Structure 1
Amino acid sequence: MGEDLLRHGQHRLARVQLFNWGTYDGYHDLPVARRGFLITGPSGSGKSTLLDAISAVLVPPTKLSFNAAAQGRGRTVPSYVRGAYARGSDADTRELRARYLREGATWSAVGLTMTTAGPGDVDTVTTLVALFHLRRGSNDLGESGRAFLLFDHHLDITELRQVVTEGINVRALKKCWPDALYNKSYPQFGQRLRARLGIADENAQLLLHRAMSAKGLDSLDRLFRDYMLDEPETFAEARRAVEFFADLDEAHRRVVQTREQITTLTPLEELTTTRDHANRDTRELGEEQAALDGLAAYFELDLARGWHTDADAAHANAATRERQSHAAHKHAAAALKDAERARDGNQSLRELTDALGHAAERVERVVTQRNRLDVALLPWGATVPDTADEFATIQSQIASETAELVAKAAEHDAADGALMLASARAEEGVTELKQQIAALAKVKSNIDPKLLDARALIMQATGLPARSLPFAGELIDVTDPSWEGAARGCSADWAGLYW
């Protein structure tokens, strides 16, 4: 019974490896017992994610339908590669979007290792790998973002890191594992997979996929019909009928659409005709308006020409009148001159008489001024000049002598000022001597009177007698008159003596 359960020689899953698949962030290695295994855990623990990883390797992408537990959540291969774990509102756009564990450029890999555990420890190992890569800001795998690999030995999928740094580097992949079977599309990989594992056709893979998604089996009839029985030919006929009906439906839809277009566009014909008439009328009115503008311009030009002719005639008349006026002015000017000459002949005697009287008055004034000048020149010993040159010579002599007299007067004024200053200083000295003599006579002391006045103020303020405030000079008595000069020189600055 145990041997039947193990079934040596049958390819069975022995190891599951995940790298950055869904919420399995980083590398995860899950060994699988040959007797079978049970996946259990609470909701959200990753059971469906693990099953979907296995399906991503064993099921063609076009037939891939992720586990029923994940249906309705928008699970796709790119979402698993990104690590979508929740949906929330974007902080900037307020739009509802998926939240990912891996936002930038990332890669993901799923590895399934199959073993046969044949007799005599001869084991056939097959490692199937689905490799994915997404660029920054993109969720489109494209042709260069996925690869399917088949190895005939054990392989840690972390070793693939060196060939997916900036996308899947096929050249580096073939260089590192030249014996590996590489396919960028699933159909060729699926054929090699089935040949390697002994699977009859693709339906077996789909049946396995459906069995793994057990929640999607709603009836055994559907299981047998969809995955175990061959499809009847009537199904193809039904599909062709549906396609034919679809063509008929499209033709009917186009007929209805054309009828609606005719109904909608029919009134436009009349409206178009009306618009064309209106455009034609507008164009004719525009042409007539342009013609009216030309006609108005022609009439304005003709009127302007008439005004110009009238203006030329008026200008000619005005020129003629101007010439006549000049001729009349000349005649009037000649007549005026004749009249002035006649008037001047009658008035010339009276004018000469008046001029003679004025001349006599000027002669009298000149004679009077000459006599005055003669009297003024007597101190100078000069006579009245008869010519302008003589008058200029006398005038310069008078100016020169006047300047000399002014200079002498200034010298006399300066000497007088000096004498007055010396006299004032002498008077001040006399007054001071008189004051000193009076002070000496009063106090009988040889001390400077100003110092005595200062001591008097101190005595008045303090109430002290003079003997209590003696000067040094009052305490010195020179008995030998021959020493009086020496004593005066030594004590003049500090004894307060007044010699």
Structure 2
Amino acid sequence: MPHPTLASAQQATLSPGREFQFQLQRIQTYRWGTFDDLRDIDIAPQGHLILGPSGSGKSTLLDGHTSLLTPPRWLDFNVAARNSDKGSTGDRSLATYVRGAWATQTSDDGEKVKRYLRTGTTWSAIAETYRDGTGRVVVLGRILWIKGSGSAHGDVHPLFFLAEREFSLRELDFFPQAGAGFDVRKLKSTLSDVSFTDEFSGYQSKFMRLFGIASDRALRLLHKTQSAKDLGDLNKFLRDFMLDPPETFTVAETLVNEFQVLNSAHEAVLTARKQIEALRPARDALAEYTQTRALLSSLAEERIGVDYFREHWRKRLLDTQIGELHTRASGIAQSIEAFKTKEGQEASAYNALLAKRAGAGGDVLASLNEQMDRVERVRLPEVSSNHDRMKAACTALERALPASPQSFAEMQTEARQVVDQRESMNERHETELDKHKEVKRLTEERFNSLVTEIRAMETRKSNMPSHLLGIREQICRSLRISEESLPFAGELLQVKPAEVKWTGALERVLGGFATSMLVEEEFYREMAAYVNETHLGHRFVYLRMISRTAQPTSDLTPNSLVRKLDIAQQHRAWLQEELRSRFDYLCVDSADDLRTVERGVTVAGQVKHSRTRHEKDDRRRVDERKSWVMGFSNSEKIEAYKAEAMELAPAIEAANRAIEKARNAAVRERDQVMHCQSLVNLTWENTNVVALLDEVKSLKARIDQELKDNPQLSELDSLIDKQKKQWDKATEVRQGAEGNAKEVGSELTKAQRRLDEIPDEALAVRLTPMQEQGLEKRFSESGRKISADNLDQAAGTVLKAIGEEERNATARSGDIKAHIEKLLFVFCSAWPAEAQGLDARLEAADNFMAKLERLETDGLYEFVSRFKALLREQSDQNLAVLHTRLDQERRSIQERLDQVNTSLRRCAFNDNTYLVIDYQDKPPTLVTEFRHQLKSALSHSFKEDDDQEMERRFAELNTVVQRLGSQLPEDVKWRNLVLDVRQHVEFSATEFDETGIEVEAYDSGAGKSGGQRQKLTTTCLAAALRYQLAGEDGMWPSYSTVVMDEAFDRADNEFTAMVMNIFKNFGFQVVAATPVKNVMALEPFIGGGSFVSIRDRKFSEVLAITYIDETGRLDLPVEAQDALADELAAETNEPET
């Protein structure tokens, strides 16, 4: 007897309108996934189960169904399995199905690689046959192929097809072989009754029309239903299944994307302002630079004109001076004539008095006065001067003044002898002085040499002479080699402390070798070239260090010179071999021992080089440390040099004293010769002052006697003296005037000469107004009254002032230039594209200033205008659209619920009851804040000339957009919350009876059992599907196939039966993929089944399962029974959770 539920189902198939329902009746696959050949599967119209163990290929078949009905933008494979594993990601694609991916393995290089059943060029095909009760047939299919070895999504070539007749994939066998393979044109011509297209949209439109599907929303709901497992409570179900993601996300994305344009415009404004701010200081500095350069130009112009201006002014001054001198000369000439007349009058009066005195007997007195005048005025000064010379000579010669002609003659003879010996005396003093100077020179040379050596040694540890160190420094600097790379041999050798007494002797043997520079092979070529081309000024030896096989030193005798040396690590092996081969001298105690060796040296410094050649160099003492050059440190040598320098200092001082003493002696003897020469040139008569004074006394007595004898003469003399003074005064006045005339004439001549000396070419130069005005001011302000005499000095002062101003202006100009170029460099660095290849140099400043002018006049205005327009558009349009869309999406929820409620009204929920779904606004706090934020941003209008308000508006918009566009997890979570209006409402359902009386309320399933919640949500899903597939007026869905993948893998039998009953009651054909363990709960609701298995983990097979109508059960094959046993055993072994 048939199962009552099954009987009901069969009866339902006869209900009016069911004959127009399309049901899936056949699935064909060719090389799809792990189904490697053609598979043809019949699907029972009453419902169909696809059974099989996990991983056998059940989802592969259903993904083929998905690829035929789901638009590419929603296409997602194996979703049910990934919903079970929250951490998994999609690893299936059209390419993996075409290739037949069956495993992911690790390659030899450690990378994960997929393993495919089909490599190289291959193709696949899928087809599903739908039939309604009237016999209409619709076949949906697609062909996919890959040429070559590619496995990416882009390597897959798709082709959709639709046939309104029975169709077998065998009809496509020619397709891969046609022409060059995959000839679509031939395919279309061969199967002309089949519609082919590579675009899903056209294919979709056609099958939706045939199936009576009004909206692609139904396709999406079918796709969601395929992966649905636990539908959850009413809220979760309606949000995830019933309601599509709101368009608010698209609007927000548009807002974010278009905001980039606004943000770019804002950045352009900010950039323009920043560029203006960056270039304005450069413009100010450029203006100052221009002023400074103009100042420099004017200063240069003035400087060039100084000489010409000076000569112009000189001519002006001299012209004025000459005119004044001519006036003065004329006045003086007239005065001279008057003074001459006066002088003649005074002379006549004087001569008249003289004549009167001569007539009174005054001739004798006149003669005596004349003699007296000659003695006092001429002879006495001369004799007194000679007497003083004689007295000075006698004092210098430490001799008493001669008292008689005889003693004077004797002293004069001795003086003549001294004068005659002056040449030999000078030679003697010069020889003595030269001797002391030479001593000083040699001592100072040695002292300076010691100081040089000390300074050289104090900067290095080397004992080498300073001239060798200087040569090395010169070479290293020229060849760019470190001094450590070019050591002297002696710097790497040192006498062992225990053998220190042999140091002097070893220095004599190794001296030449020790002062040789060691040159490695890598430096040899450069060294040879440099030394050859350079005059070094000293003897210089260097050794090319050619590598050679080192010989053992064990053959050296204990007294070998080599064994008394410590050798530094640098070039140690080479030095050991060089010393062993060249300087294996034996150190012996005496000359007798020296005779017995082939080569040796005594501690006294005698060296035996061969059987015949001996040498002892005693130019320096053997123990003279200052001449030693070997050693790792020079501290002892420095002390020795310092000690010698300290000894030389007193010697230099003594030499200085000796030189000074010799010079003083020479000066004294030269003075003595000079005085002796003075004595030789004198006579007794012209030095005898006493005799001359006696003569004056005698003349005076005779004059007094004459005056006493003739009193009248005394009165006349008084008048003559008075008149003489008047005459002398008149003469003096006349002579003064003539002197003035001569002086004026001289000045006039001088002035005229100076005027004539002014170059004509200087006067021919015409000064510029700037030169005339500027230099006139400078000369006038030079601090003195300008005259022809101080004009050159004034010009020098002016030139100095101009030069100082030029230097300051040049320095300032350089500073400003550097500042400008720094500002331009900053601009170029910040905005290289705007710089357009311009160099940050002063020469390009005009280009930058032109850019600044464009920014200030047009650029910034354009940027601001565009920004304002975009800001108004963004805020008043896009932001408003988002705000409006949020409201619309909330209203659309009601519209969708109305559709579902219409469908629910047609189907009983319980006996004679139906459901009505409603919602309430319950936005979270973050959503409320977001709405207020949008409202605030839209509520404030702004004036386009209010930059602050404009920036505030932009900041508000930017805050919203930046968070909407952020990819930070917390911001993504926030965005999903505030934009998804489905999260802003709470859903509830109310059960009514046929009279409209409320039976029970369901508050999102709260407080209800799990079964009640599942029944509620499943009923809503079925109602939504029927509404989408049947429309407002249809009783039954025209497209009735609902595919469910792994929907009941963890469900109990009661839930499974409930779900299947609901879908059956709504008129759907359920095709479900499920584990074998669920078969008993599903058998009453189906009419057939298929069992999927897999071999070797990569080859899937399909076995049809017969449905026994009498028992309402599937006749499970052995394979299915084994799989069921394995699943039950696995469940038994699972730990409890």
Q: Which has the higher contact order (CA 8 A, sep 6+)?
A: 2
Which protein is bigger by CA-based radius of gyration?
Answer: 1
